[in-house]
Structure 1
């Protein structure tokens, strides 16, 4: 089995939000060894006695207090459907990738276990995400296909992973990258919209950028995983950062994020902070957005661009304090003001 690099979101819980943010330096740094990594609670196959229901979240943001950081991105892991090897007569056949229906939307080549309407709104949204990413980041996205494999339910998804990629952790969805192929694997569940938007964002980004820094890769995907029209607003990240700041367990530190090279180093709070930096830079002023665009342009042209923090602090010496002010403004936005909603509907 070839080596993999992992990055993803684990299950975590968002506590209630205090009334005010104190714009002060916390007494405890988030790098303290006392702050432990939050791990996802595994789901065993034994608990999956029946297929997941057909209901799914196509357009809603994560609005509950229980935030599920369960998607996963994987670099360098093959996803081809290898020939099935000989097995004992009483052994069940090895699971295969979805192949009931195949449809193409732009860069996406979608293989599913079931028949979707030709113009399903979730598929249309995923296709439109390509233009959203290209326009916002000023990136000329190519035509390289991104293969999306959509399993009918969680049990079949996990049986495929256990048989084909036994070294992968338990997650709701994966983005896999190898030299000649970009792929997304997910199952049809109640978070399928969020999962596919996140993983498709990785696919679009990796089709045009090489050696994208881990924190930046995840921060961008976290922004583009929200439904169109919310401009990247993610209430669960706001709540988490708000609480961690006021309890002294977190402070902004882009330099710390830039030192992370292995996905296992990133905790839920690191995904949230990565999201916040990119949200402030992409959704507030033209100068901040242009700084991100210039960085990505250099990365695309040269294959490397160094750390982003020196550029940020040169343009805005008080960038960390500005980030806290941005968090405070987001924390006081109501769900009505953001148009946030969660829709559950059958396929």
Structure 2
């Protein structure tokens, strides 16, 4: 899971343009401009994954990402990351990774460590989703980012959240509560458990019964039309008898 509270909205423009930063490598790839303090050949698998990520999101979710630029900034260390962020996005200092929306481009920031690839896929998923939809509710935004943050071959069966939720079902009598997730309005409300639970519902929407997939598609259509969508929890309850049990059965497969 990428660091919680990783999305930042800038409330005011920079007062003074910061000095130009020296990048060791730079590459354009589809909608991305990737800038790195280290050679991108060191993370060639990540770069390849990013090249496929937009297609994966579009095919999986039935969305069309718009051609907005997405800048991805990769730092060689936490120290250099914090030095860069402290000047440009002070509220993001000490956060493990960031997605910052913008009118000209979405921007992703991350530093080199063991979970760099996960962080970058997570934050870039946010950036791509926000080109496809005029707004994305926090819980579902994070649920999709959790889903797509792992390599494609692990998304259906290999995400660590799968085992976590199966244990919660077995030993903690966990039950889904979509309405609770829908009540979240601030990113600070999303804790580790909410990230996990959002992933579980998203997995059901993607890999569950046809009625769940159709409910998600209709939900997206209403968002794109500008209408206030029917809460997804309500739509799913209308379409799927014994919804909670259907989600539990799905996650235990």
Distance in 2 (CA, whole Å) between partners of 1:319 and 1:307 is: 14
| Counterpart in the other structure of 2:44 | 120
Separation in 2 of the partners of 1:121 and 1:303?
A: 40
1:95-134 to 2 correspondence within 5 Å? 97=21, 99-117=23-41, 120-134=44-58
Instruction: Mark the CA change 1:119 to 1:160 in structure 2 (over 3 Å): closer, same or farther.
Output: closer
Alpha-carbon deviation of 1:233?
A: 3.5
Q: CA deviation at 1:280?
A: 1.3
Q: Does 1:73 align with 2:9?
A: no
Partner of 2:90: 166
287-296 or 70-79: bigger deviation: 70-79
Structure 1 spans left out of the alignment, 5+ residues? 1-8, 10-68, 85-93, 330-347
Larger Rg: 1
Counterpart of 1:270 (choices 180, 194, 197) is 194
Structure 1 117/82 Cα, relative in aligned 2: closer, same or farther at 3 Å? Answer: farther
Query: What is the CA distance between 1:164 and its match in structure 2?
Result: 3.0
Q: What TM-score, normalized by structure 2, do the two folds share?
A: 0.89
Root mean square deviation of aligned Cα = 2.5
Paired with 1:150 and 1:79, the residues of 2 have a C-alpha distance of 22
Distance 2:133 2:21 in 1: 27
CA contact (8 A) 2:14 2:88 kept: no
Output the CA distance in 2 between the equivalents of 1:82 and 1:203: 26
Q: How does 1:294-333 map to 2 (within 5 A)?
A: 294-302=218-226, 304-329=228-253
**Could you tell me how far apart the structure 1 residues matched to 2:82 and 2:127 are?**
21
1:343 maps to none
Structure 2 residue ranges without an equivalent (≥5): none
Residues 231 and 283, structure 1, Cα contact 8 Å, conserved in 2: no
Name 1:186's counterpart in structure 2: 110
Partner of 1:27: none
1:130-160 Cα deviation digits (max 9, x unpaired) = 0010111111211111110111122111222
Shift of 1:293: 1.8
Shift of 1:172: 1.8
Question: Do the aligned residues in 2 keep the contact of 1:173 with 1:195 (CA within 8 Å)?
Answer: yes
Q: Do residues 212 (structure 1) and 212 (structure 2) align?
A: no
Q: Deviations over 1:88-119 (max 9, x none)?
A: xxxxxx7x655332211111111111232399
The CA deviation at 1:303 is 5.8
| Change in CA separation of 1:241 and 1:324 when aligned onto 2, cut-off 3 Å | same
Whole-angstrom distance in 1 between the partners of 2:14 and 2:33: 14
Which of the numbers 164, 181, 185 marks the counterpart of 1:257?
Answer: 181
- How many residue pairs end up in the alignment? 252
Q: Which position in structure 1 is the counterpart of 2:125?
A: 201
Mapped contact 1:108–1:146 kept (Cα < 8 A): yes
Q: Name the TM-score, length of structure 1 as normaliser.
A: 0.66
The offset of 1:199, in angstroms, is 0.8
CA pair 216-177 structure 1, distance change in 2 beyond 3 A: same
